[in-house]
Amino acid sequence: MMSFSLWDIVRNLLIGGALTLLLSLVAFVLGGATGMLVLLARIGKWRAPRALAQMHIELFQGTPLLLQLFTLFFGLSLFGLDVPAWLAAGLGLTLFTSAFLAEIWRGCVEAVPRGQWEASSCLAMTYWEQMRHVILPQAMRLSIAPTVGFAVQVVKGTAVTSIIGFAELTKTGSMIANATYQPFLVYSLVALGYFILCYPLSHYAQSLERKLHAAR
Amino acid sequence: MAYQFDFTFIPDYAGMLAQGVAYTVGLTVVGGTLGIGIGIGGAISRLWNVRPFGELYRYYVELFRNTPFLVQLFLIFFGLPSLGIKLEAWQAAILAMVLNLGAYSTEIIRAGLQATPRGQLEAADSLAFTRWQIFLHVMLRPALRKVWPALSSQVVITMLGSSVCSQISTEELTFVANFIQSRNFRAFETYFLTTGMYFALALLIRQTMHLIGRYLIVRRPSR
């Protein structure tokens, strides 16, 4: 029988942790880009894209991430695609992230005072000029704190991808727990890993929020 | 060859699906009630720094908000037995949901309590309210009213999150879906249907929370 030292456990968890970090980054960056498109559609003037964006948001906010992953995982393979776990995980989390970020950012855009829209339209700016030079820069300032806060949810969301077999931190932890018969130790370390990733983000989001309130 | 969608399995498994839905709803009701209860207790302890609970709650909230629900669940179900605490799957699922929701609702309700205007407290004082009356009618109720939408969203998120409880063999809706698709090999159809059911459940719970908020919290005392 193979025996595991504490270092063996930690070393393997670190590899899993790196994959968790990587998946979080990918999901956050791609989800942010997609979320921006969804946002523009959601607050835009055209009716069809607006309805579509709203459907996207409600669908992904109103269903469990696990079921989204399952549906993607098995849905894509219907088209004859061979879907590896990492692809389903990345795609699922990206869509999930985009829905939430679009909705968070919409709140920020709507928090920009109406007068700003009116003033910029008095200056004969087109819709896109208003967006680009007046509205989005101000909305962005408002959005930093909640966006960083949501990053915590993305990191925690990656844990669910372990269920479709992506070998990130939680999956690695499960495998090690099964091999070492030390579930309490291993899962505590796994939880610690997530805490190390998430706590600085939560803390940073909180301090940003405080700063923003102070600036007002 | 194009894929043929086949939803004809639904009648055969309707009973199981209904049981799964009932299980998920049960988990949510129990988890939601106890979780909000813990949240109220936590918010009070944090706000007035009741020793030693204020400090304990602080650590508890940070720990549970910065780790994934799935890991909390595994730690409770697989980890605690090595400390001599053996829980059934459903007990572990409820405990994890209660603790998870409790952490979030502590922060949500605390924000509501903190937003009580000073003048209200002074007014209540001058009307000779007792401490308990002040807390209940001037602080807690208006606070819950203010944060009820946020609290409702958190309950819905907890309900959606409960789908991972299938991983410790809690027989809720996702567990049923896994079972069905292992029988009929119609994975996509099964999960698609189940996702739709969760969507409907989310709407239902949101509506229910709205009604509870209307009648329990927002209702003004009769004159």
DSSP string, A97-150: HHHHHHHHHHHHHHHS-HHHHHHHHHTT--HHHIIIIIIHHHHHHHHHHHHHHH
B87 lies within 8 A of chain A by CB: no
Q: Helix H segments across chain B? A: 10-48, 53-65, 69-74, 89-114, 118-126, 131-133, 141-161, 173-184, 187-212
The chain B residue lying nearest A202, using CA atoms, is B66
pLDDT band at B1 (very low <50, low <70, confident <90, very high): low
- Specify the residue for token string 């709650």: B57
Closest in A66, A78, A156 to B188, CB measured = A78
The CATH H-level superfamily of A6-215 is: MetI-like (1.10.3720.10)
Average pLDDT, integer, range A38-51: 93
Q: Which residue on chain A is closest to B187 by alpha carbon?
A: A74
Q: What is the pLDDT of residue B222?
A: 52
Can you read off the two tokens belonging to residue A52?
């579509």
Listed by start position, the domains of chain A span 6-215
**Chain A closest CA to B79's CA: distance in Å?**
4
Report the share of chain A in percent with pLDDT over 70: 98
Give all domains of chain B, ordered by start, each with its CATH number: 10-218 (1.10.3720.10)
Indicate the pLDDT class of residue B109, thresholds 50, 70 and 90.
very high
- Predicted confidence band of residue A214 (pLDDT cuts 50, 70, 90): low
Give the model confidence (pLDDT) of A168-203 as tens digits.
999 999 999 999 989 999 999 999 999 999 999 999
pLDDT at B219 over 60: no
How many whole angstroms separate alpha carbon A57 and alpha carbon A39? 10
Nearest-Cα distance to chain A for B160, in Å, is 5
Return the residue of A nearest to B2 by Cα: A79
* Nearest of B55, B76, B98 to residue A191 by alpha carbon: B76
Look at residue B221 in the predicted model and tell me its pLDDT.
55
Residue B149: name the closest of B196, B109, B97 by CA.
B109
Q: List Cα–Cα distances, A101 to A32, A111, A137, A149, B119, in angstroms.
A: 7, 15, 16, 11, 37
Task: Say whether A154 sits in a helix, a strand or coil.
Answer: helix
pLDDT tens for each residue of B56-104: 999 999 999 999 999 999 999 999 998 999 999 999 999 999 999 999 9
| Cβ neighbours for B81, distance < 8 A, ≥ 6 positions apart | A183, B87
